[in-house]
Structure formats: C-alpha cells, structure tokens
Amino acid sequence: MPYISAKTNISITPGKETALKDKLGKAISLLPGKSEAWLMLSFEEDCQLYYKGENDDPIAYVEVKQFGSADKESYENLTAEISKILKEVLGINPENVYVNYQESSIWGWNGKNL
C-alpha cells in the first residue's frame, strides 16, 4: 500500500502526467512486495517551491509512503528510478529532486486498519 506524492514548480501536461503515472507504477515494484495494484499517486504542479533560495529551474519534492519497511538498497534503487523518471518526463535534473520516505506500521484501508 504505497503512496507517492510529487510536487513541482512546473506545469504537467496531461500526457506527461500519464507518463509519470505509468513509469512510477512500474518503479514501485523496486520496493519488496509493492506493485501498481495498490499504488496511489498524486501530482501537484506549479507549486511555489524554492531550492537554494531560487525557483528558476525545475525542481521537485517527492514523498513515498508505505505500509511496512524496505531495505536501504531498495530505497536507493527507487530514488535513482524516480530521479530518472522526473528527468525523462519533466526535464528535472536529479540534483534538483528531493525524495522523502516514510514507513508506517498502521495503514487504513477499506474501513479498517491493517
């Protein structure tokens, strides 16, 4: 039950949003036991984001939340893939991307907690 939220200071066309959805849907499988079948995504475009005091270049902040945990190597692989996807689809350099991971031992779904 992963959730990926991405905020960026640039616009995202419908075609690019679809490409992000598809590519992130595949990338989530880099975390053990995770798949697109349980993935929820959200995108926020044109945010007032600043990095190093500037917002002239495309930048992104990505949160990955999941039920359970993963090993450091899996997180590193997913960070690399998210950065690659954002570069390919939106032209955001990996040096302008932050990825934050949050693990949860309690996750609600379908009217109950797991």
The first and second tokens of residue 93, run together, are 């350099």
The distance of Cα 25 from the centroid of its chain, to the nearest Å, equals 10
Q: What is the pTM of this model?
A: 0.95
CA dist 78 and 71 (Å) reads 11
Domains by residue range for the chain, with CATH: 3-113 (3.30.429.10)
- Segments in the chain forming alpha helices (H): 14-27, 72-90
User: Could you give the strand order of the β-sheet that contains 97-104, starting from the edge strand earlier in sequence?
Assistant: 40-44, 3-8, 60-67, 97-104
* pLDDT score recorded for residue 78: 98
Query: What is the per-residue pLDDT across 35-60, written as a single tens digit (0 to 9) for each?
Result: 999 999 999 999 999 999 999 999 99
* pLDDT score recorded for residue 92: 98
